[in-house]
């Protein structure tokens, strides 16, 4: 089932005023407000120690918040823990399974833990969807790293949750497997599951996420649609390869942010992705007026990584 409307807007998880101070006295989260939307892929980004795992732990009911409330699909995670937890699947950072059990036993057992009646047909579909069906009788210890990770996902989905948390799903996974994982996560979303992932690979968020949240030092500093974020904060560059080298930017072009590169053979124009496109045609017109001819032009755009570094790096 595909989400009825896209982009999704209906709330599935609500975090309101959540703070966490550990017993050591360290305040890991400061008054977090966050709404996750049904059917989206939400990427939570932040530097090491920013509080991502703590926040996920709190939403999943594993870590107690010091204050604030969390609801998951309408259930309060503290006062209605069992009902809320049943809606949630969690794939933690560390691969934790009983290595000597078979894939089938692990996944069936996990479903039982949530009080769900056995449903071999559902588990078969799940394992087939994760390309694990032919490994169902294999002991986990015999599987490759990528397969073990998929077993963790199957385990987390065994009780048919509507919300799936993936904490660093592709850490240490090679590029090819990472792409397989992305495909799989997308197809989960198609089936109506809401996905929240944390990642250190920012290109993963750029590739996958509908929305991005950035957490830094225990505070959410930004939540935005990915496309909007890249449009608002992204920079673009236009590089012109000149027919004749320049020694300086002509005064007639001083209204534009231009720099000379490649020993005068290139002129580089940097602009905001959201700038008026008319400005670009004005630049090209003014270049012609100034007698500057070019033989080639290239544009490039800043990545989410550049944007992320500028956001988090600006906060010492």
- Chain positions contacting ligand ATP, by CB under 6 A: 22, 24, 26, 28, 46, 48-54
Tell me how far, at minimum, the Cβ of 44 lies from ligand ATP, in Å: 9
Vertex 36: Cα angle to 30 and 37 (nearest 5): 165
Find the Cα–Cα–Cα–Cα dihedral 238, 244, 247, 248, rounded to 10°.
-50
CB 312, min distance to ligand ATP, A = 12
CB of 52 to ligand ATP, least distance (A): 4
CB nearer to ligand ATP: give 52 or 178. Answer: 52
Nearest 10 degrees: Cα torsion 21, 25, 28, 33: 30
Q: Which is nearer to ligand ATP, 52 or 75 (CB)?
A: 52
CB 76 within 8 A of CB 87: no
What is the DSSP track for 182-244?
HHHHHHHHHTT-EEEEE-S-HHHHHHH-SEEEEEETTEEEEEEEHHHHHHHH-EEEEEEEESS
Give me the least distance between CB of 17 and ligand ATP, in Å please: 18
Question: For residues 57 and 89, which CB has a smaller minimum distance to ligand ATP in the complex?
Answer: 57
CB of 88 to ligand ATP, least distance (A): 17
Helix, strand, coil % in the chain, rounded to nearest 5: 35, 30, 35
* Cβ 143 to ligand ATP shortest distance, Å: 25
Strand 75-76: give its sheet, edge to edge.
27-37, 11-21, 67-72, 75-76
CA 89 – CA 75 distance, rounded (Å): 15
Q: Shortest approach of ligand ATP to residue 168 CB, angstroms?
A: 7
Question: Cis ω on the peptide bond leading into residue 7 (within 30° of 0)?
Answer: yes
- Between residues 39 and 213, which has the closer beta carbon with respect to ligand ATP? 213
| Min separation Cβ 63 and ligand ATP, Å | 8
Token pair in block for residue 171: 């850490």
State whether the Cα torsion 53-58-61-64 is positive or negative.
positive
Q: Cα separation of 216 and 48, whole Å?
A: 9
- Residue closer to ligand ATP by CB (options 292, 312) is 312
**Token pair for 73:** 């699909």
Helices (H), 46-144: 52-59, 81-86, 103-113, 120-129
Residue number, 63 or 83, with CB nearest to ligand ATP: 63
Would you say 164 or 240 has its CB closer to ligand ATP? 164
Q: Select 39 or 169, whichever has its Cβ closest to ligand ATP.
A: 169
């Amino acid at each position: 089932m595909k989400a009825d409307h896209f982009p999704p807007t209906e709330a599935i998880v609500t975090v309101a005023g959540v703070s966490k101070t550990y017993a050591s006295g360290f305040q890991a989260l400061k008054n977090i407000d966050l709404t996750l939307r049904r059917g989206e892929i939400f990427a939570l980004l932040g530097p090491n120690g920013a509080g991502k795992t703590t926040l996920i732990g709190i939403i999943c009911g594993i870590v107690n918040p010091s204050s604030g409330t969390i609801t998951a699909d309408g259930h309060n995670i503290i006062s209605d823990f069992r009902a809320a937890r049943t809606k949630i699947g969690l794939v933690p950072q560390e691969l934790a399974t009983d290595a000597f059990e078979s894939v089938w036993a692990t996944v069936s057992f996990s479903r039982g833990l949530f009080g769900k009646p056995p449903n071999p047909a559902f588990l078969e579909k799940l394992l087939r969807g994760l390309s694990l069906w032919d490994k169902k009788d294999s002991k986990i210890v015999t599987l490759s790293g990528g397969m073990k990770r998929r077993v963790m996902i199957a385990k987390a989905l065994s009780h048919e949750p509507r919300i799936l948390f993936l904490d660093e799903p592709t850490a240490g996974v090679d590029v090819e497997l990472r792409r397989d994982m992305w495909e799989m996560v997308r197809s989960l979303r198609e089936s109506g599951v809401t996905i929240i992932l944390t990642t250190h690979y920012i290109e993963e968020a750029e590739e996958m996420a509908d929305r991005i949240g950035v957490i830094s030092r225990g505070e959410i500093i930004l939540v935005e649609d990915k496309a909007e974020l890249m449009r608002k904060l992204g920079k673009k560059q236009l590089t012109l390869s000149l027919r004749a080298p320049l020694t300086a930017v002509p005064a007639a072009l001083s209204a534009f942010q231009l720099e000379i590169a490649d020993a005068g053979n290139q002129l580089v124009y940097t602009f905001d992705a959201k700038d008026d496109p008319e400005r670009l045609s004005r630049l090209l017109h003014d270049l012609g007026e100034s007698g500057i001819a070019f033989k080639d032009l290239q544009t490039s755009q800043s990545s989410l990584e550049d944007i992320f570094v500028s956001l988090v790096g600006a906060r010492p």
